[in-house]
């Protein structure tokens, strides 16, 4: 199939010039763009070339084949790479070896595939041995290549090769891989190749060009592997972005004691502190560090002393190279104006940079970095606000372990990702996901994690590994997810088959309760005392900047004094939804509510309502006192009556005692009121129209409470009375008139008055369609996007869990529409309601009070729709404040 030939598929980097730069991340991926940028800065980057993300898209469109002209461009880039390195691809005497790596525009650590040492075969391996003067290094590299290529490209399990090595070492009384010499690796290579032939029925490929195209295809294919799909779903990365492929000349960290490989961060990615941070391994390749196969040493001497580690730091073993790396790291941070995550290799005393990217960080670190870098003049307040992902705030708003807590330390490791969590021990990622889905809190305990564990890591409250360092897969992914993590807990002895883990003579079993303290690197026995988070310091500074930058107000959904106080502490600017029916479920009230509902006439209902009036008034007094002179939106009684109906003989008997009616008549009345589809039944304004005395009582309670608080405090509350489930103008007109009439009556009785508003919740498609008519009776609209989503999509929120996940996986919905608003459907109804409502009443106040009010992606949509405020649960208020600032800033750009 022919494609556009004018398109450039391959971009070179390194040497005198690079075809790309950092601005081309969408086309070259983050890795390719940054390699080109570093090369242009004159930094020591091994040369190579990048195959663009557009090729990945076409690779799938063309059913895993390549566009016309790609092969010619790759061949030309390979020839240029040979010229830059002075080596030849496939040449036995002077072989060029390359790495083949993925590189999406968003960092996805460990989720896609990599192949190192590509180009080795029997002849080029011997040539490498002669050139390097180190046969052991050459054949160690060759066996690594066979193992990695077979796993990534040919689909032969790593276990096959690990078993061969283990048996080889055991038969010769060897302990470590490093104990195997050159001749030993030659023996292992023969066993590897025989295993591949046995598994596949074909020999291991020896042609370097065949190897190259096999690796390129495998990297593109890894974009759609299960772990990458899971990671994209968890981090909202679109499938359409694709990955680039980077082909780069190899440099070797496994050429003896003057060679090394490592990962460095320009600041601490766990805390955000301004200190050089990282790990390295002598005589190793990069995969050894990130895969957690060996526990690496620290880069800096100070960190080694702090961790009481025995292995010398890079600063101590190679002080000149440490200083060079430190200088390069400083340049990169200044250039990118962000904390950098740098992969490096030292080959026989020469430093090379293999990657730089903005480092994954915890929420705590992201907050400190943003505020500190603003203070240092690196970034503006606007940039600082945009640096903190609103979703990360969840990590900052939950408890940590109290200083005076009793710590029964089971094991200590490296503090890989801060935070604290309590849960039950599991040893398997599938089990973690299953138990978490059933509502249990679990702690995933593993020897080490791999990309295949991504679903279990996401399900777990925290992760603990016996192996791996601060830059291992477990550490990097846990920080990105905001999970507490302890790595390199070498004292752990895990027997997953028996379901036990041992440390220092003690034993815990699967299902035992433990606490993980990621900041201290400890796993503690049992549940430990926690403390509430602090809202001061850097958090207060950044949120103050966010508040200055946002346009929309942020209110809270609160039905109780506790919720209202919590929300105010988190910066809520009023209540956007008080669900009055939630006030009636207490044991001392439910019987009175049932008495009211089951009453056979108005007189009986009024008698019950007179008992409820002082209770409701007292509720509103408390809320108004807490919110002072901020607006409080109170939704009048809304729920389906069946939620209050007595269902047991005991409940019916209680109502009978209160009313004097017989249990038989009450049972008959209960059956009479039962509905086939209560969600669309006798509820909301329909209840207020058929039984107007209910809304009369609630309106009286609101106005009496507001006047009482105004008189007592000197601060007049601003009640906003919301009529639910309105579909027609007449419904709102009838209920509004009753509320206004009650307000006038109470004001006359109390000889005082105050300002108030009457509006409605837009939660039915018809209400959005005729919003212009309804607005003539309304002072405000609040979009109830929970029910609006249900009624627009014809999907029950309570029952949708059975199929929504499948719908997301198959692309029916990009995201769960009850979490992130469906902009094309439900969102269009919101826009329509806003436009038509304000056309009829320009001063109409507009807000949202569904769960979407706390979702950052939905908040961005509400900003574009012109809403005045969002309302969300108390713990989401800071998230909404920051998301509203993000939305306002991005609208300006």
3-state secondary structure 67-105: CCCHHHHHHHHHHHHHHHHCCEECCCCCEECEEEEEEEC
On whether the CB atoms of residues 277 and 268 are closer than 8 A, the answer is: yes
The answer to whether 485 is a known catalytic residue is no
Distance CA 260, CA 255 (A): 8
Closest CA to 141 of 182, 84, 88, 195: 182
Distance CA 579, CA 591 (A): 19
Instruction: Beginning with the edge strand found earlier in the chain, give each strand of the sheet holding 340-347 in spatial order.
Output: 297-298, 277-282, 260-265, 340-347, 350-358
Catalytic residue among 473, 487, 834, 886: 473
Distance CA 25, CA 835 (A): 37
DSSP 613: H
pLDDT at 583: 78
Tokens of 174: 């060897």
DSSP 417-441: E--EEEEEEE--HHHHHHHHHTT--
Torsion of CA 199, 203, 208, 214, to 10 degrees: -40
Residue-wise pLDDT for 468-501, tens only, equals: 876 677 787 787 677 889 988 888 999 999 999 9
Residue-wise pLDDT for 447-458, tens only, equals: 988 777 888 988
Q: Whole-model pTM?
A: 0.79
pLDDT at 643: 66
Distance CA 248, CA 44 (A): 13
Residues 6+ apart with CB under 8 A from 377: none
Tokens of 47: 């040369």
The answer to whether 562 is a known catalytic residue is no
Catalytic residue among 56, 685, 849, 872: 849
On whether the CB atoms of residues 251 and 128 are closer than 8 A, the answer is: no
How far CA 12 is from CA of 32, 245, 639, 670, 774, in Å, comes to 9, 12, 64, 77, 62
Residues 6+ apart with CB under 8 A from 131: 94, 95
pLDDT at 553: 98
Closest CA to 32 of 18, 16, 17: 18
SS3 489: coil
**Structural element, H or E, at residue 401:** strand 400-401
On whether the CB atoms of residues 220 and 66 are closer than 8 A, the answer is: no
What are the residues facing 500 on neighbouring strands?
Answer: 495, 509
pLDDT at 364: 86
How far CA 580 is from CA of 344, 441, 684, 751, in Å, comes to 60, 32, 12, 27
Which residues of the chain fall below pLDDT 50? 1-5
């Amino acid at each position: 199939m022919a494609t556009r030939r004018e398109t450039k598929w391959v971009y070179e980097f390194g040497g005198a010039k690079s075809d790309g730069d950092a601005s081309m991340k969408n086309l070259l991926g983050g890795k390719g763009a940054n390699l080109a940028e570093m090369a242009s800065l004159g930094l020591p980057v091994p040369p190579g070339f990048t195959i663009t993300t557009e090729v990945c898209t076409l690779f799938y469109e063309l059913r895993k084949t390549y566009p016309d002209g790609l092969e010619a461009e790759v061949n030309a880039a390979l020839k240029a790479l040979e010229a830059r390195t002075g080596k030849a691809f496939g040449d036995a005497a002077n072989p060029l070896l390359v790495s083949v790596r993925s590189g999406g525009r968003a960092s996805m650590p460990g989720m896609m595939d990599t192949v190192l040492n590509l180009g080795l075969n029997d002849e080029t391996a011997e040539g490498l041995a002669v050139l390097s003067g180190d046969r052991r290094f050459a054949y160690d590299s060759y066996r690594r290549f066979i193992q990695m290529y077979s796993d990534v490209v040919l689909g032969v399990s790593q276990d096959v090769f690990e078993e061969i090595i283990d048996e080889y070492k055991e038969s010769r009384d060897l302990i470590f891989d490093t104990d195997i010499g050159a001749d030993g690796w030659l023996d292992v290579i023969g066993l590897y190749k025989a295993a591949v032939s046995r598994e596949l029925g074909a020999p291991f490929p020896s042609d370097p060009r065949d190897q190259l195209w096999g690796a390129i295809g495998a990297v593109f294919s890894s974009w759609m592997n299960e772990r990458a799909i899971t990671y994209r779903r968890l981090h909202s990365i679109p499938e359409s972005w694709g990955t680039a492929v980077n082909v780069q000349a190899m440099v070797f960290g496994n050429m003896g004691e003057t060679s090394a490989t490592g990962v460095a961060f320009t600041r601490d990615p766990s805390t955000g502190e301004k200190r050089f941070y990282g790990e390295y391994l002598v005589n190793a390749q990069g995969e050894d560090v990130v895969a957690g196969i060996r526990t690496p040493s620290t880069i800096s001497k100070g960190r080694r002393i702090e961790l009481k580690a025995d292995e010398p730091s890079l600063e101590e073993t190679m002080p000149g190279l440490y200083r060079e790396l430190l200088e390069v790291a400083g340049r990169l941070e200044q250039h990118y104006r962000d904390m950098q995550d740098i992969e490096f290799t030292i080959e026989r005393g020469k430093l090379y940079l293999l990657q730089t990217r903005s480092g994954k960080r915890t929420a705590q670190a992201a907050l400190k970095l943003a505020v500190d870098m603003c203070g240092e003049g690196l970034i503006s307040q606007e940039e600082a606000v945009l640096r903190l992902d609103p979703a990360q705030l969840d990590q900052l708003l939950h408890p940590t372990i109290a200083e005076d807590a009793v710590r029964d330390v089971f094991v200590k490791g490296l503090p890989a990702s801060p935070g604290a969590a309590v849960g039950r021990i599991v040893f398997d990622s599938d089990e973690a996901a299953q138990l978490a889905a059933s509502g249990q809190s679990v702690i995933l305990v593993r020897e080490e994690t791999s990309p295949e564990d991504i679903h279990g890591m996401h399900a777990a409250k925290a992760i603990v590994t016996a192996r791996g360092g601060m830059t291992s897969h477990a550490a990097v992914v846990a920080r990105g997810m905001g999970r507490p993590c302890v790595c390199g807990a070498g004292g752990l002895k895990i027997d997953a088959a028996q379901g036990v883990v041992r440390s220092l003579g003690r034993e815990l079993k699967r299902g035992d309760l433990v606490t993980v303290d990621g900041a201290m690197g400890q796993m503690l026995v049992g549940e430990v005392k926690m403390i509430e988070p602090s809202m001061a310091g850097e958090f207060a500074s950044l949120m103050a900047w966010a508040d200055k930058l946002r346009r929309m107000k942020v209110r809270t959904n609160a039905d109780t004094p506790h919720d209202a106080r919590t929300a105010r502490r988190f910066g809520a600017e009023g209540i956007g939804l008080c669900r009055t029916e939630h006030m009636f479920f207490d044991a001392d009230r439910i019987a009175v509510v049932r008495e009211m509902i089951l009453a056979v006439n108005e007189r009986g209902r009024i008698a019950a309502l007179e008992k409820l009036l002082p209770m409701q008034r007292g509720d509103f007094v408390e809320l108004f006192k807490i919110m002072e002179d901020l607006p409080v939106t109170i939704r009048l009684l809304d729920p389906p009556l069946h939620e209050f109906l007595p269902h047991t003989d005991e409940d019916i008997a209680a109502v009978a005692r209160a009313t004097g009616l017989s249990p038989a008549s009450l049972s008959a009345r209960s059956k009479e009121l039962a509905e086939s589809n209560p969600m669309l039944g006798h509820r909301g304004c329909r209840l207020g129209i058929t039984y107007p005395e209910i809304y009369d009582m609630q309106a009286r309670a609101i106005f009496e409470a507001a006047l009482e608080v105004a008189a007592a405090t000197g601060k007049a509350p601003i009640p906003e009375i919301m009529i639910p489930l309105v579909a027609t103008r007449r419904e709102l007109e009838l209920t509004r008139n009753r509320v206004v009439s009650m307000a006038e009556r109470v004001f006359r009785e109390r000889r005082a008055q105050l300002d108030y508003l009457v509006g409605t919740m837009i939660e039915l498609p018809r209400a959005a369609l005729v919003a212009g008519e309804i607005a003539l009776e309304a002072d405000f609209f609040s979009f109830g996007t929970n029910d609006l989503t249900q009624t627009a999509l014809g999907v029950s929120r309570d029952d949708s869990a059975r199929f929504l996940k499948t719908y997301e996986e198959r692309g029916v919905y990009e995201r769960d529409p009850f979490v992130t608003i469906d902009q094309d459907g439900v969102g269009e109804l919101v826009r329509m309601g806003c436009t038509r409502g304000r056309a009829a009443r320009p001063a109409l106040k507009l807000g949202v009070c569904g769960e979407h009010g706390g979702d950052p992606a939905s908040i961005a949509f509400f900003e574009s729709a012109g809403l005045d405020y969002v309302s969300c649960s108390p713990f989401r208020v800071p998230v909404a404040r920051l998301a509203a600032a993000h939305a306002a800033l991005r609208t300006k750009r």
